[in-house]
């Protein structure tokens, strides 16, 4: 790998943010922070009187060391409750307690109903009062589809309802290590439900694999 290609790969990996565990220890599913933040920002963009200017996700208990049931992607966070930390701008004249309560409820709901992320804490900070709100920040386009390998596992993943296409942000869309498979993909609906279905389908199609993990890099 040349210096330029190595630098590009590092920038691409950093752009994904943290790899967040979906569901619990048994689900074997992860989603990039970038994908999760895009969904959460979309939920907040519908709320009047405020604009989210910064949003991050991190473990609610950084000391927790819960082991997942399958090997995780490299540098992925372990399963466990998450904390959302967000900064927001608000329109002057709007009651801040009501604005933050509405945003907190919307983020909790989106994390659960649209993602399957176990969020236990939300910390909000109002950093500015404005006469007019800034334009919403674009979520960015989804990653382009990767060329799927001609394997039963790839065919099973692509045939699962809710899978938009396979992606290759961390390497091959179907990454095999000994008796473990990691499938990387984009979804068109609830990521955790799709990930569970993909794991079941791939396990049936590739019975030689002892375990299957799913990494979602974009959620529609």
Report the pLDDT value the prediction gives residue 179, as an integer from 0 to 100: 92
Report the pLDDT value the prediction gives residue 131, as an integer from 0 to 100: 83
Residues of the chain with confidence (pLDDT) below 50: 4, 6
Structural domains of the chain sorted by starting position, each given as residue range(s) with its CATH number in brackets = 34-130 (3.30.70.1350), 141-219 (3.30.70.1350)
Report the pLDDT value the prediction gives residue 139, as an integer from 0 to 100: 65
Report the pLDDT value the prediction gives residue 10, as an integer from 0 to 100: 57
Q: 115 to each of 65, 108, 174, how far by Cα in Å?
A: 22, 10, 22
Q: E strands within the chain?
A: 19-22, 29-32, 50-59, 82-91, 119-130, 163-166, 174-177, 180-187, 211-219
Report the pLDDT value the prediction gives residue 96, as an integer from 0 to 100: 92
């Amino acid at each position: 790998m040349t210096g330029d290609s190595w630098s590009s790969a590092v920038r691409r990996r950093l752009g994904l943010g943290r790899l967040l565990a979906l569901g619990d220890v048994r689900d074997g599913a992860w989603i990039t922070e970038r994908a999760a933040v895009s969904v959460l920002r979309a939920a907040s963009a519908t709320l009047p009187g405020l604009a989210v200017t910064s949003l991050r996700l991190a473990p609610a208990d950084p000391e927790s060391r819960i082991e997942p049931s399958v090997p995780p992607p490299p540098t992925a966070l372990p399963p466990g409750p998450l904390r959302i930390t967000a900064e927001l701008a608000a329109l002057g004249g709007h009651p801040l307690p009501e604005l933050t309560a509405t945003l907190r409820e919307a983020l909790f709901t989106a994390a659960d109903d649209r993602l399957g992320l176990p969020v236990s804490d939300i910390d909000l900070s109002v950093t500015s009062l404005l006469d007019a709100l800034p334009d919403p920040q674009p979520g960015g386009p989804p990653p382009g589809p990767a060329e799927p390998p001609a394997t039963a596992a790839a065919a099973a993943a692509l045939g699962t309802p809710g899978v938009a296409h396979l992606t290759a942000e961390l390497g091959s869309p179907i990454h095999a290590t000994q008796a473990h498979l990691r499938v990387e993909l984009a979804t068109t609906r609830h990521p955790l439900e799709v990930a569970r279905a993909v794991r079941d389908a791939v396990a049936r199609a590739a019975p030689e694999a002892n375990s299957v993990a799913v990494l979602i890099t974009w959620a529609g």
